[in-house]
Amino acid sequence: MKAVTKNSFHDGGAPRLKGRHVLAAVVSFFAAVLAVNAAMIYAALSTYSGVTAAEPYRKGLNYNERVFASERQAQLNWKDALKIDPDGQVTLAITGSDGRPIRNLSVEFSIGRPTTNRQDLNLRLLAQDTGYGARIGPLPPGAWIAGVEARASEGDSEPIFRSRRRLWMAP
């Protein structure tokens, strides 16, 4: 019969897990996590600046005036109807509380994607028989945000009518 010794259950050829192996595994794991985090942070910062408004401090200083302007606009009770044809013809009709069209306004129109400014367009709508209009060309399908600012004259700093709406262009 063979005597049992201290190392009789250990296979001499199999490698043993040592402290340096555990240390290397932990360091490799955290290095991989840090590398992925760094790549995600770079991607986030390089594609979106986080700024939602140009000059937010100055706009914040004029917040009360903006609220009063919105109240004045609500008292006017003007309505707008925006139509964008598939060929890119923009037509805007602004009507008063009596339903008659409002004429002789300086109308600025902007349209862009909600998530990027790469396809933003800003233009002045010209007076037409049915209201105001312009041609922007066909828009790709998807979500768009359209904004309208109407002023009594070109030199006015504040618009007397504002409208902003989200649109869906069907494919």
Q: What is the 3-state secondary structure (H, E, C) of the chain?
A: CCCCCCCCCCCCCCCCCCHHHHHHHHHHHHHHHHHHHHHHHHHHHHHCCCCCCCCHHHHHHCHHHHHHHHHHHHHHCCEEEEEECCCCEEEEEEECCCCCECCCCEEEEEEECCCCCCCCEEEEEEEECCEEEEECCCCCCEEEEEEEEEECCCCCCCCCEEEEEEEEECC
Cβ proximity of 72 and 160 under 8 Å? yes
82 and 43 in a common domain: no
Contacts of 66 (CB under 8 A, 6+ apart): 59
Cβ proximity of 83 and 91 under 8 Å? yes
Give the tens place of pLDDT for each residue, 27-53: 999 999 999 999 999 998 888 766 777
96 and 43 in a common domain: no
Does some domain include residue 137?
yes
Residue 6 has pLDDT above 80, yes or no: no
Structural domain of 43: 18-48
Q: Write down the pLDDT at residue 10.
A: 55
Which range (17-21, 51-55, 102-106) has the least confidence? Answer: 51-55
Does some domain include residue 53?
no
Does some domain include residue 63?
no
Q: pTM score, two decimals?
A: 0.64
90 and 44 in a common domain: no
Does some domain include residue 41?
yes
Q: Write down the pLDDT at residue 79.
A: 94
Name the average pLDDT for the chain. 88
Q: Write down the pLDDT at residue 105.
A: 93
CA dihedral sign, ordered 64, 65, 70, 75: positive
CATH number at residue 92: 2.60.40.10
Does some domain include residue 6?
no
Give the tens place of pLDDT for each residue, 78-100: 999 999 998 899 999 999 999 89
